Amino acid sequence: MALTDTTLRELHRRAKKGEKVPMKSDGGGLNFQDGKYWRFTYYFAGKKKRLAFGVYPDVSLKAARQAREKARELLAQGIDPAEKKKAERAEAERIEHEQARTFRVVALEYYERKLTDRRDLYKRQTLARFENQIFPFLGDVPISKLRPSDILVGLRRVEERGSLDMAHRLASLIRQVCRYAVASGYSEFNAAAELSAAMTPKPKAVPRAAILDPHRIGQLLRDIDEYQGSFSVKYALKLMPYLFVRSQELRNARWDEIDFDKAVWNIPAERMKMKSPHTVPLARQVVKLLTELHEWTGHTGLLFPSAQSNTRSITDVGLLNALRRMGYGRDEMCIHGFRSIASTHLNESGKWRSDVIESALAHSERNQVRAAYNRAEYLPERTAMMQEWADWLDRLRAGQ
């Protein structure tokens, strides 16, 4: 006998009171169990199976019958209703996960996993670019649904502000996140792979200003010797032409990194741009300057403490201001220019192998085994090169 709403209410009332309620059938395989559960019993491939349709009264008699008819239609088509329901549930979960895995979620995962060894400043800049410039237009887009057009909409706005270089930097960052998503199985393809083809080209890089004429290099060295400003700034500028290091590596140098006995400066990996330790051979002229400097700042820990605090080093601004006060404009000489001077003249001399010069400049070697080999193999050549370079600078200073 088919079930009625009255029968269901009564059975449900008795079950709620704790009574044992017998199973009732509505026919066609649809059963009502324990006063609340809908069950559909059927045979598929010779096996007896059951499928849950939900709980009464959330699922009414009418809804349960509709579910039974849909299940019977599937059976007539040779489809197992239980397996279809399982597949639909799995697909719904997949879609839910896909919708939840937005560009923001994947980008922050990339940030946490892939930037662990990068400098704090780089990590702060990267996070700021995500939060302030990328997430506002891409953050809520599921990574698997991301398309090049979605990315270009936001990058076009950056281009329209005239920030072409920043637009390309953001495109590169988005490309890295998309590459991570593909490798992690979150997306089928890198939506940012070919963005450059649709972007406004970056303006050509302007070479950093550097004085390359030997006579003018000599004048620059004499001007530094005559500089009357901060003692730390003066000695940083006096040492910089001899050492080839980056400004931040020199400015933050510590006395415990200097080995006077071996005449070398050992810079730890955490202070190097490429995160590899770097050894700088010290020419006789450098040792002399460092000995003089030690009399003034040896008690501070830092070679070049600022005038305001012995615990903070001088800044790039201080070095640049000194050059400007000496009369060297921004299109004439910059702090990085000292590295350019060394690289240009040493390569043009033809006397030193390019690998040796690159090693002295602490440019990265992608092959880590070769990098370790080079650090040891090139040190004797670099020591000779640094001394000859220092002697050449002294001859320029003397006007020879």
Residues in Cβ contact with 389 at an 8 Å cutoff, skipping those fewer than 6 apart: 242, 283, 342, 346
> Which of 78, 99, 120 delimits the end of a domain?
99
Residue 131: CATH number of its domain: 1.10.150.130
Within the chain, where are the H helices?
Answer: 5-16, 61-76, 81-100, 103-114, 120-129, 135-138, 148-160, 164-183, 214-225, 231-243, 247-251, 284-297, 316-325, 337-349, 354-360, 368-377, 379-397
Q: Tell me the three-class secondary structure of 325-336, residue by residue.
A: HCCCCCCCCCCC
Same-domain status, 94 and 146: no
Same-domain status, 176 and 289: no
Residue by residue, pLDDT tens for the chain (400 residues) are 688 889 999 899 998 888 998 898 988 889 999 889 999 999 998 899 998 998 999 999 999 999 999 999 998 898 888 888 888 787 777 666 667 789 999 999 999 999 988 878 888 999 999 999 999 999 999 998 999 999 999 999 988 888 888 999 999 999 999 999 999 999 889 999 988 888 888 777 566 788 888 999 999 999 999 999 888 999 999 999 999 899 999 999 999 999 999 999 999 988 888 778 889 999 999 999 999 999 999 899 999 999 888 889 999 899 999 999 999 988 889 888 888 888 889 888 888 888 888 888 887 654 454 444 445 558 899 999 999 999 999 999 998 8
Domain presence at residue 207: no
The DSSP letter of residue 197 is G
DSSP string, 229-291: S-HHHHHHHHHHHHH---HHHHHT-BGGGEETTTTEEEE-GGGSTTSS-EEEE--HHHHHHHH
Domain presence at residue 231: yes
Under DSSP, is residue 54 helix (H, G, I), strand (E, B) or coil? Answer: strand
What is the b/e burial string over 24-52, where b = at least 16 CB atoms within 10 angstroms of the residue's CB? Answer: bebeebbbbbebbbbbbebebeeeeeebe
CB 327 within 8 A of CB 269: no
Structure-token pair, residue 202: 């970056």
Same-domain status, 288 and 365: yes
Structure-token pair, residue 182: 């593909």
Range of the domain at 221: 214-397
Same-domain status, 48 and 118: no
* Count of domains observed in the chain: 3
Domain presence at residue 208: no
Strand ranges of the sheet holding 37-44, from the earlier edge strand across to the other edge: 24-27, 30-33, 37-44, 47-55
Beta bridge partners of 48: 43
CB 254 within 8 A of CB 302: yes
Task: Quote the CA–CA distance of 316 and 309 in Å, as a whole number.
Answer: 16
The burial class, CB within 10 Å (0-12 / 13-18 / 19+), for 60 is middle
Same-domain status, 192 and 242: no
CB 154 within 8 A of CB 103: no
CB 53 within 8 A of CB 87: no
Catalytic residues, by residue number, are 246, 273, 336, 339, 363, 373
Instruction: Report residue 99 CA to chain centroid gap.
Output: 24
Report the candidate in 239, 221, 241 with the shortest Cα–Cα distance to residue 343. Answer: 241
| Identity of the amino acid at 157 | R
Strand ranges of the sheet holding 278-281, from the earlier edge strand across to the other edge: 258-259, 264-267, 278-281
Same-domain status, 40 and 115: no
Domain presence at residue 203: no
Return the biggest CA–CA distance within the chain: 117
> Which of 99, 116, 150 delimits the end of a domain?
99
| Identity of the amino acid at 376 | A
Residues in Cβ contact with 153 at an 8 Å cutoff, skipping those fewer than 6 apart: 137
Same-domain status, 156 and 290: no
**How much is the pLDDT for 310?**
85
Q: Which sign does the torsion angle of CA 398, 359, 283, 298 carry?
A: positive
What is the b/e burial string over 317-344, where b = at least 16 CB atoms within 10 angstroms of the residue's CB? Answer: ebbbebbeebebeeeebbbebbbbbbbe
Same-domain status, 35 and 184: no
Give pLDDT tens digits for 150-207: 999 999 998 888 888 899 999 999 999 999 999 999 988 999 998 888 888 877 756 6
Residue 75: CATH number of its domain: 3.30.160.390
Same-domain status, 285 and 371: yes
Same-domain status, 227 and 373: yes
Domain presence at residue 246: yes
Domain presence at residue 31: yes
Same-domain status, 34 and 134: no
Report the candidate in 256, 252, 250 with the shortest Cα–Cα distance to residue 238. Answer: 250
pTM of the model: 0.54
**How much is the pLDDT for 364?**
61
Task: Quote the CA–CA distance of 303 and 251 in Å, as a whole number.
Answer: 8
